[in-house]
Structure 1
Amino acid sequence: MGLFNVDLVLLTLLTITVVLFYRHLKTIYSVFTKLHVPGPTPKWIFGNIGDFKDKFPLEVFKEWRKKYGDVYGFFEGFRPSIVISDPEMAKQVLVKHFDKFHVRPIYNPFVYYPDNLSLLNTSGEIWRKQRSVVASAFKSINTAHVVKCLNRSADNLVKKLEESAAHSDSGFDITSLVDRFSVDAFAYAAFNYNVNSLEDEGATLFRYMRAFNLSSSADNPLTGLARVYDSLIPFLKLFDKEHAVLHELHVKEIRNCIQQERVRLSEQGLEPGEKNLLHHIMMGSFLDVAEDGKWYRRNLTDEEIVAHINSLIGGGLGTLNSSIEFAIHMLAVNPLTQQKIYDNILQICGSEENPSDQQLKELEELDWFIMETLRLLPCAPGLARTCTEDCEINGIPFRKGWLIRIMLCTLYNDNSVFPNAGVFDSQRFSPSEKEKRHPYTFLPYGQGPRMCPGNNIGVYQIKTAIVKILRKFSIESCSKTVDPLPTALRPMLCPRDGVFIKLRERSNNHRMHYAGSN
């Protein structure tokens, strides 16, 4: 009898648990129906993640937009997410109501100390104060000095491309060289950090970037599980071994770099124009509150600086790599556009082998080309925010904790916004054409207070690389060139199988002819 009672109690508890769990799931998965938000029907436990099986994620969002409109909801496991493909609504979320959407979701769920202190992983007042220092640092750097450093790194890239072209008459994949150039150039220009991965693929920063991107990739099932079911992160993190090991080595090198630059500042001193991004971050300060409640001005700690450097490297280098690789591909398959850009380079830069920051600014054809490349191949196909309080915007309800996805790629592919959207046409970004569109239909660097603070350096780096390459070579497609270029999310949009091109060295006579004719 006693055993019977125990069994009955256990059965009762199990039944109550199942009923409560059922009601909980019913409440979760009926939220969009009750609020009259359209969207695909979720499956319990999994939400809509099954809809992405064997499909490229961006294509799913494009299909959903056609079916459900500019604003709809779907479920990532248990988590409700709102998808926005409307420029005016994007403006409301990113700028006008930023206070309700100021949190940026973490796209790599495996965070290691001190990255929890970075701009990517903080919010509210802490984020605002720290962001002010980083943003001020970017505004304070001397772009002439930055471009001087970028020119040096781009020369190294051109030498490596020359070697590869000499050994590969039929064409070769440029992605590894561009990845390494991107790491070397940014680290040297921004932090005086000599990575030299173009010569040494075993360089810690380069290896760390590859591990970080793999850990964040949509191809990584561990990361996919961690994003959807965050309660599993502590367990799944145990398997994120390569990223964890290289993160520790990388952080050690960054700490050494900071210490070396502190010594250089104190012992040698630097002219204002020679101070790089790291120097300005170290010297920046903000108002903080002491334990006794009094306000005081303080500098960032070394651990905070390490975290911010990591956020800039992790959040920016992958998109830089892809931007340059996509641009080189587009130059190869659009020879007439390439010739226009080359002529513009010779017109603005003349015989000067090292373009200045001012000359790079004046390369209008190259500006339009880069923007059109990032429209067709957007490294950042969307922006994400987390709603921090219940609200309603333009009749659309938002609830605290919901993830908000602004899918830019669906706007970029919209024929009503960009006529013949599948066709490459850099003239779309001439001033007269841009005026015809809502300014929030094209946001390659984000918008609002969380806009990428380093986009100007990024553009300089892309332009410097292209100018240096085009002065030396014409870029051509080869037998392995695939167009449209297959892409993957790792975690930014990047070439899935590489970028294969052929380089033909320009003759001095050809270069002088164009230089003289301008």
Structure 2
Amino acid sequence: MGDCPYPFTVIVSSLAGPVFCRSAEPVGLSGYSTSAFSRLAKVGIRHPPPLPFIGNLLFFQEGFWESHTKLITAYGPVCGYYIGRQMFVVVSTPEMIKHILVTDFSNFTNRTKPNLISKPMLDSILCLRDDRWKYVRSLLTPAFGDSQLREMTPLINEACDVLLSNLKVYADSGKAFDIQRCYKCFTLDVVGSVAFGTQVDSQKNPDDPFVKNCRTFFEMSLFKPLLILILSFPFIMIPLLRILPNKKQKELNGFFIQIIKKAIIFRDRQDAAERRRDFLQWMLDSRNAAASLGAECFDGIGPATTSSHHEAPLADKAPSEKIQKRLTEDEIAGQAFLFLIAGYETTTSALSFATYLLATNPECQEKVLQEVDDFSAKHIIPDYQNVQELPYLDMVIAETLRMYPPAFRFTREAAKDCIVLGQRIPAGAVIETAVGHLHYNPDFWPEPEKFIPERFTEEAKKERHPFAYLPFGAGPRGCIGMRMGLLETKMTLLRILQKFRFKTCPDTEIPLQLKSKATLGPKNGVYIQLESR
């Protein structure tokens, strides 16, 4: 956890004293520090012994990926833990997950409360709750339809052109390099182009203000002693942190908000024919549209699948009244910012993992290269329509996301006490789906440690439980940008493999070490060599 520069008890006493002295019979720190830790046991949910104040925080200090498996192995497929005073219930079976994400969605509509999140992120669908979330989600869902993705494809191709130019330098040199760094630049370029209307080449222009501010944002983290205080005394620290000045955070938020506002002003002055066809423009068109939308018809099937098994019950859908199809500037900035957060690390990791798996499984790479060559013989320029003709590449990406799902845990908050498949869930509990553990369950994935793209043939998918594979979540609150993420990943791998072959080298880390704080990614990069074709 790191060393605290001040004695922990002094800090805690200075904050907690005024609260506890109000009691006629003062409650000691010891009693308060463990008073929240009986709730899971009362409903029969097993968990590790929590420590005073911080709960089971130390259990996850190396990340959630391996810790989830340790937790489930020790305490069962439905188990729990505490972070500070907040209780978490971990579920890892397909049927239980189906009930949480779809069947009983009306009781698990919201994600964890965004207590310390500020604008613009606060206005994104990741943080919005209840009817407000339903409204904004209903407006955004069409932005990832066929026609919109078709219009965004040239922007992805433009970014791919820059990426290929940069990769050629490494291929010509014959030297090993960390391709993950190239993917980070590429995905940042795509996000800047599609969501913010900003053209950058982050690999050649690392000092570009957009690039620098994005990297600063992703490098920020809470001071660990401060995190302990927040977990120990949320009723004091959360309101306090909301009002205390945070210059760096304020500057970052202001930068991204100003980019959006300037883009809005610029595009409002353009003729319609001159405007870029990207995600930002789609939101601006929605803002200006006069048509109304019936929210009852949105998102009937979770975006993680087209299977009818993922349909949400009618009772869980949005209210039937008509709502005006408009977005505020704050909402537009919020969705663009979410696009940055959701699209940068996850797509970078998906590309990095796919590259690693193809380099270390040359027989699979040869199958992909043959399919790519057949594709190239028929098509000069990849586009939204013709990239659907690459079934084996689809299977490679799907198996990559099974083995290394960048978003490997999803949370939902229980609105009220309920019973799910015989298990009582207390109100206020945060339900966490252990996707990583699910994807390695040998009951659904024989020899789960092996890279076998053929697991995702149409025949194999039909025989498997539809909730055994959840790289994008499922149900009405599943990942809205799934199709965009898959398209970007597929087009990028296609364009690269048309020119190069991935090869391992002495610097290639086998097996990869992983980091798993917020998302799953390679801990030390992915070092390979490129061979020109």
Query: Offset at 1:85?
Result: 0.5
Which of 192, 205, 213 aligns to 1:208? It is 213
Q: Is this contact kept in 2: 1:326–1:373, CA < 8 A?
A: yes
Query: Offset at 1:388?
Result: 1.3
1:393 is the counterpart of 2:445: no
Partner AA of 2:58 in structure 1:
G
Query: Offset at 1:494?
Result: 1.3
1:483 is the counterpart of 2:510: yes
Which of 177, 182, 188 aligns to 2:193? It is 188
Which of 143, 153, 177 aligns to 1:137? It is 143
> Equivalences for 1:325-474 in 2 at 5 Å?
325-350=352-377, 352-474=379-501
> Equivalences for 1:197-346 in 2 at 5 Å?
197-215=202-220, 226=230, 230-231=234-235, 232-233=237-238, 242-264=248-270, 267-269=271-273, 275-284=277-286, 297=324, 299-346=326-373
Change (3 A) 1:495 1:239: farther
User: More deviation in 483-492 or 371-380?
Assistant: 483-492
Which residue in the other structure is 1:18 paired with? Answer: 27
Which residue in the other structure is 2:15 paired with? Answer: none
Query: Offset at 1:429?
Result: 1.1
TM-score between both structures, scaled by the size of structure 1: 0.85
> Equivalences for 1:46-61 in 2 at 5 Å?
46-53=54-61, 55-61=62-68
Query: Offset at 1:372?
Result: 0.9
1:30 is the counterpart of 2:38: yes
What per-residue deviation string (whole Å, max 9, x for no partner) do you get for residues 153-205 of structure 1? 101101011123334x3301112221111121233245543133232112333
Partner AA of 1:193 in structure 2:
T
How far apart are the structure 2 equivalents of 1:80 and 1:474? 47
Q: Which ranges of structure 2 fall in alignment gaps of 5 or more residues? A: 1-19, 295-320
Whose Rg is larger?
A: 1
Q: Is this contact kept in 2: 1:387–1:401, CA < 8 A?
A: yes
Change (3 A) 1:239 1:335: farther
Query: Offset at 1:438?
Result: 0.8
Give me the identity figure in percent.
27
How far apart are the structure 2 equivalents of 1:484 and 1:214? 25
Partner secondary structure for residue 110 of structure 2: coil
Query: Offset at 1:140?
Result: 6.2
Change (3 A) 1:223 1:473: farther
Change (3 A) 1:155 1:360: same
Q: Is this contact kept in 1: 2:353–2:400, CA < 8 A?
A: yes
Partner secondary structure for residue 414 of structure 1: coil
What per-residue deviation string (whole Å, max 9, x for no partner) do you get for residues 459-506 of structure 1? 111111111111111110111101221111352111111110101111
How far apart are the structure 2 equivalents of 1:74 and 1:375? 25
How far apart are the structure 2 equivalents of 1:111 and 1:343? 47
What per-residue deviation string (whole Å, max 9, x for no partner) do you get for residues 197-240 of structure 1? 232112333333323333369x9775676577644346567696
Which residue in the other structure is 1:121 paired with? Answer: 127
How far apart are the structure 1 equivalents of 2:200 and 2:135? 30
How far apart are the structure 1 equivalents of 2:403 and 2:369? 21
Which residue in the other structure is 1:150 paired with? Answer: 156
Partner secondary structure for residue 462 of structure 1: helix
Partner secondary structure for residue 383 of structure 1: strand
Q: Is this contact kept in 2: 1:211–1:242, CA < 8 A?
A: no
Partner AA of 1:212 in structure 2:
F
Query: Offset at 1:277?
Result: 2.3
Q: Is this contact kept in 2: 1:216–1:223, CA < 8 A?
A: no
For the aligned residue pairs, the C-alpha RMSD in angstroms reads: 2.8
How far apart are the structure 2 equivalents of 1:152 and 1:228? 49
What per-residue deviation string (whole Å, max 9, x for no partner) do you get for residues 53-98 of structure 1? 4x44322210111121110121111111100001111110111111
Partner AA of 1:206 in structure 2:
V
Which residue in the other structure is 1:8 paired with? Answer: none
Change (3 A) 1:250 1:192: closer
Which residue in the other structure is 2:80 paired with? Answer: 73
Which of 165, 179, 190 aligns to 1:174? It is 179
Partner secondary structure for residue 504 of structure 1: strand
What per-residue deviation string (whole Å, max 9, x for no partner) do you get for residues 421-465 of structure 1? 111111111112222221111111111111111111111111111
Q: Is this contact kept in 2: 1:213–1:491, CA < 8 A?
A: no
Change (3 A) 1:137 1:30: same
Q: Is this contact kept in 2: 1:144–1:356, CA < 8 A?
A: yes
Q: Which ranges of structure 1 fall in alignment gaps of 5 or more residues? A: 1-10, 289-293, 507-518
Query: Offset at 1:349?
Result: 3.2
Partner secondary structure for residue 73 of structure 1: strand
How far apart are the structure 2 equivalents of 1:275 and 1:34? 54
Query: How many matched pairs?
Result: 482
How far apart are the structure 2 equivalents of 1:241 and 1:481? 40
Partner AA of 1:51 in structure 2:
F
TM-score between both structures, scaled by the size of structure 2: 0.83
Partner secondary structure for residue 432 of structure 2: strand
Q: Is this contact kept in 2: 1:384–1:406, CA < 8 A?
A: yes
Partner AA of 1:333 in structure 2:
T
How far apart are the structure 1 equivalents of 2:116 and 2:233? 13
Q: Is this contact kept in 2: 1:71–1:84, CA < 8 A?
A: yes
Q: Is this contact kept in 1: 2:155–2:194, CA < 8 A?
A: yes
How far apart are the structure 2 equivalents of 1:77 and 1:465? 41
Partner AA of 1:183 in structure 2:
L
Partner AA of 2:252 in structure 1:
L
Partner AA of 1:185 in structure 2:
V
Query: Offset at 1:137?
Result: 2.1
How far apart are the structure 2 equivalents of 1:239 and 1:474? 50
Q: Is this contact kept in 2: 1:141–1:277, CA < 8 A?
A: no
What per-residue deviation string (whole Å, max 9, x for no partner) do you get for residues 315-341 of structure 1? 232111111111111121111111111
Change (3 A) 1:162 1:459: same
Change (3 A) 1:408 1:212: same
